[in-house]
Amino acid sequence: MLETNGERLWDSLMAMAEIGATANGGSSRLALSKEDAAGRALFVEWAVAEGLTVVRDTIGNLFARRAGCEDRAPVVLGSHLDTQPKGGRFDGVLGVLAALEAVRTLNEKRIETRAPLEIANWTNEEGARFTPAMLGSSVFAGAMTLTEGLARVDADGTSVADSLAATAQAGDMRLGRDMDAYFELHIEQGPVLEDNANTIGVVTGGQAIRWLDIRVTGKAGHAGTTPMPVRRDGMFAAAELMRVVEQRAGETSGLLATIGEIHVDHGSRNTIAGDLRLTLDLRHPQDDVVDAAIDELRGLFNDICERRGLAYDMSVHWRSPALPFDADCVAQVRDAAAALDCDWQDMISGAGHDAFHLARHCPTAMIFIPCADGLSHHEAESIEPEHAKIGADVLLNAALARAGRA
Amino acid sequence: MLETNGERLWDSLMAMAEIGATANGGSSRLALSKEDAAGRALFVEWAVAEGLTVVRDTIGNLFARRAGCEDRAPVVLGSHLDTQPKGGRFDGVLGVLAALEAVRTLNEKRIETRAPLEIANWTNEEGARFTPAMLGSSVFAGAMTLTEGLARVDADGTSVADSLAATAQAGDMRLGRDMDAYFELHIEQGPVLEDNANTIGVVTGGQAIRWLDIRVTGKAGHAGTTPMPVRRDGMFAAAELMRVVEQRAGETSGLLATIGEIHVDHGSRNTIAGDLRLTLDLRHPQDDVVDAAIDELRGLFNDICERRGLAYDMSVHWRSPALPFDADCVAQVRDAAAALDCDWQDMISGAGHDAFHLARHCPTAMIFIPCADGLSHHEAESIEPEHAKIGADVLLNAALARAGRA
């Protein structure tokens, strides 16, 4: 098996982290900001030095191409260079720079591939400046129209189109062109690999996600004058709904339930909560398991609210079906991990990634490495250099298997 | 027993409601606004027409005095004319105009009292423009210094001092002068009288109030990547705390528990809630019962948070001890209600009132009448004209018993 140069990869990661470096050791390169443009420029400089051909598409996705012996659809390796406002040094960046390290290794060892290789840097993956997240890959793969993508504005009202122009990141490469396969290396952003003491996660797909909006309609009232028995307290009702959600999640292995937001309309400390809004994020590798949980929760919520004399409404805000990755690409990742004799496991991706959009466009797989304490979207995001190197090794060998050695 | 003129009282209430009238049938006279000044001016006009002497103190409390045969401390009847931004027509206003109606009745019937009678309109009872609520009575009774009261500012940065000057409401009457007694008629702002089909509440005092701040410290994390068993979810912990609070309140008759506010720090729908803040409002007629409940809740919270691996903190934000009203004044109210042959009951005041500050200054009692559906601080606030009249009758006769008929 080929091995990458871990030191060179780490040096590149550290050099990129200097662009938009934050006081607490993170990076701040919001999509299409001048910091993001500087990060892209550094990447382009490195890519050109490796003899790669750099092109951009109309939504600013950046591709660095290494020709193959055969003129056909490329095997693409990538991720994103943009970060959260106070982001870490590895989320996304690792996938792009490990792809660069793979190419550097091939160049160094004068290995040619049959299919061309491309490194992709997708625009606005984080969604921190422009919503939605994964905007560039979404437009590339046709989940969002170019017009819609260009029209998205940030908090200051600046559009993607204007930001692309200001940073000279728009190109004319065709959206949705053929790709032979897509491989993305990423930090796990969760604790599973670390807890299992594994180095490589062979990602078999994305889980089913449902974002639900719950509205509880009780009756506001004076905290000092309303006897408990006549109250229709939205807060205590919400507490009981939340308990039921937690209990239901505990009954099904792998079912994730998160209530991340709760808002009391016109809330004050001496007013009984009348109307409340809660969010519910439910995830599981299988669609039918999530949907069955939702049905069951509706019944439980009905019982609770009927008993309490309150009304509730639960609507689906976003439904993302479970997304299995391509069996062949997953096998290529798994084979590479096994051949490299590292500690690996199959796993599902809990977070969203550009690879999810690509998976609807071409055969796709992902590779995870651990991040300390599962922490990401944070300046303290941390990985082991050795893990980064092994991740790059798996990426290189899986891509090479796919592209074919000339 | 003397009876007031219900129609005249109602006409005065409706005339006052025209000042700052809102589209939905309420009134908007924020403290020391031009609407409040206009409301005060109308009251002064009525008072002067009844031969009363109008004076103001240095925090703008307005007094209309009817001389007694004896030159001694007055029996004071009052409440407030200021309203919430979208307030009702009766909260506070009833107490001032029923006092006026009592005086009108005495004038009409040429009845003199031994002690002087005064009608009081306290400044900024609502707390909607300047905090805290009950500012005028608080400064009068010495719970807050004049300097501090004058320095309070509204949301636009305008001080009480400047607002008093702008509306010409500051006078030179001495704060904290002697009063023989204080009687306040008010709408109940709760459902008890209505539910019991009673017309008069003989208020025996105010309940013990504790405002507590609870902080739950869990661990934020990614909703999609963090397995349930390793989560330290602040929201689900908060839900369990809330359930325990509700259950504990259910075990003690008269214990009121309200969680009116909850805030997730940096909350988002796909982030496990790390740090949360909740408020807890606990009330009961007896201090020891509230304090015992707090101690018990601390123990329960400890168990919950320890089991879940989270931390919590609960601190007392405000402690208002139970406040029994003066036994003689309460008896005078009760006797008046009984003699008038109306349906009455003893009760506690759940809400705060100017009378609470006065009770620390002089013998005090309150009278409640029902308001529809317990609703107040709302444009739809509603009372029965007949109840207003009976309330004024009780006020008049209790005050007359106290002041002594000449």
Nearest CB partner across the interface for A226, out of B191, B236, B246: B191
- Long-range CB contacts (within 8 A, 24+) of A14-22: A14/A89, A15/A42, A16/A42, A16/A43, A16/A81, A16/A89, A16/A93, A16/A97, A17/A89, A17/A93, A20/A83, A22/A86, A22/A379
Among the listed residues A292, A139, A144, the one whose alpha carbon sits nearest the alpha carbon of residue A208: A292
Shortest distance, CA A184 to any CA of chain B (angstroms)? 17
Numbered ranges of CATH 3.40.630.10 in chain B: 6-206+323-403
Neighbours of B116 (CB within 10 A): 20
Tokens in use for B86? 């979208």
**Confidence check: pLDDT of B221 > 90:** no
CATH architecture of the domain A208-320 equals 2-Layer Sandwich (3.30)
Chain A positions touching B239 (Cβ under 8 A) are: 238-240, 242-243, 246
**Confidence check: pLDDT of A307 > 90:** yes
What's the ipTM? 0.84
Say what percent of chain B tops pLDDT 70. Answer: 100
What pLDDT is stored for residue B320 in this prediction? 87
Per-residue pLDDT reduced to its tens digit, B8-30: 999 999 999 999 999 999 999 99
Candidates A84, A192, A209, A259: best to mutate against B (most CBs of B within 10 A) is A259
Sequence-separated (6 or more) residues with CB below 8 Å from residue A45: none
Per-residue pLDDT reduced to its tens digit, A255-286: 999 999 999 998 889 899 999 999 999 999 99
What is the arithmetic mean of pLDDT over B132-154?
A: 97
What pLDDT is stored for residue B315 in this prediction? 97
What pLDDT is stored for residue B266 in this prediction? 86
Q: What single string gives the DSSP state of each residue in A106-173? A: HHHTT--BSS-EEEEE-TT-S-SSSSSTTHHHHHHHTSS-HHHHHH-B-TTS-BHHHHHHHHT----B
What confidence tier does A375 reach under pLDDT thresholds 50, 70, 90? confident
What is the arithmetic mean of pLDDT over A327-341?
A: 97
Say what percent of chain A tops pLDDT 90. Answer: 95
What pLDDT is stored for residue B110 in this prediction? 98
What pLDDT is stored for residue A320 in this prediction? 87
Nearest residue of A to residue B265, measured between CA atoms = A261
Is A273 in Cβ contact with B260 (below 8 Å)?
yes
Per-residue pLDDT reduced to its tens digit, A155-168: 999 999 999 999 99
What pLDDT is stored for residue A172 in this prediction? 96
- The one-letter amino acid code at B252 reads T
Say what percent of chain A tops pLDDT 70. Answer: 100
Numbered ranges of CATH 3.30.70.360 in chain A: 208-320
Is A376 in Cβ contact with B222 (below 8 Å)?
yes
What is the topology classification, in CATH, of domain B6-206+323-403? Aminopeptidase (3.40.630)
What pLDDT is stored for residue B168 in this prediction? 97
Chain B positions touching A190 (Cβ under 8 A) are: 221-222, 224-227
Is B259 in Cβ contact with A235 (below 8 Å)?
yes
Mean confidence (pLDDT) of chain A? 96
Nearest CB partner across the interface for A224, out of B209, B233, B249: B209
